[in-house]
Amino acid sequence: MLHVKGTPANLVGNALLLGYEEEIIDWRWMLSAIRRRLSFIVKLMLLAAALAALYVVMRPVTYTAHTHLLLTNLKLTFSRDDALFAESLPDPSFLETQMQIMRSEKIALAVADRLRSNEGAEAPSPGLLQRLREEAAARIGALATPTPEGGTETPLDAILRDAAEALRPAAAGEASDPDGARRTAMRELQANYNVDRIGMSNIVMIRAAALDPERAARIANEVARAYIDDQVAARIEAAQSASIWLRERLRDVGPKTRVIAQAAPPTDKSNPRGVLIIALAALAGCSLGVTYALLRQMFDRTLQCPEQLVRASGTQCLGIVPRLRGAGLLARWRERLRRRGTPLRPLSIADYAATHPASTFAQTLSHAKVAIDLGLAPRAPRCIGVTAAFAGEGTSTVALNLAHLLASRGERVLLIDGNGADPGLTRRLLRRPQDGLVECLAAGGLSAGAVQVDPADGMHFLPFGRTDAPRAAPVWTEAMRGLLAAAGRDYDTVICDLPPLARVAEARAAAQYVSGVVLIAGWRQVESEHLRLGLAQAGLIREKLLGAVLNRVDVAAFRRTGSPAAAFLWRASGRGQA
Average pLDDT over residues 26-53: 89
What pLDDT was estimated at residue 168?
66
The vertex-443 CA angle with 489 and 416, nearest 5°, equals 50
Report the pLDDT value the prediction gives residue 167, as an integer from 0 to 100: 66
Q: What is the pLDDT of residues 445-462, one digit of tens each?
A: 888 889 999 988 999 999
Measured CA to CA, the distance from residue 507 to residue 498 in angstroms comes to 7
Confirm if 384 and 516 have CB atoms less than 8 A apart.
yes
Answer whether CATH 3.30.420.80 is correct for domain 304-337+358-572.
no
Split at pLDDT 50, 70, 90, the class of 231 is confident
pLDDT at 381 (0 to 100): 80
- Residue 252: the pLDDT is 55
pLDDT > 90? residue 508: yes
Pairwise CA distance, residues 352 & 350, whole Å: 6
pLDDT tens digits, residue range 550-572?
999 988 888 777 778 887 877 77
Please give the average per-residue pLDDT across 385-410, as a whole number. 94
pLDDT reported for residue 152: 67
384 forms beta bridges with 495, 516
Residue 246 has pLDDT above 60, yes or no: no
Average pLDDT over every residue of 197-217 = 89
Cα–chain center distance at 30:
16
Residue 139 has what pLDDT? 72
Q: Where are the domains of the chain?
A: 63-126+169-261, 304-337+358-572
- Give the percent of the chain with pLDDT over 70: 77
Please report the pLDDT score of residue 78 as a whole number.
52
**pLDDT confidence of residue 391:** 92
Distance CA 544, CA 383 (A): 11
d(CA 528, CA 564): 19
The mean pLDDT of the chain is 80
Lowest mean pLDDT among 201-215, 320-334, 481-495: 320-334
Range 115-138 average pLDDT: 63
Taking only the tens place, the pLDDT of each residue in 395-404 is 999 999 999 9
Q: pLDDT at position 414, please?
A: 96
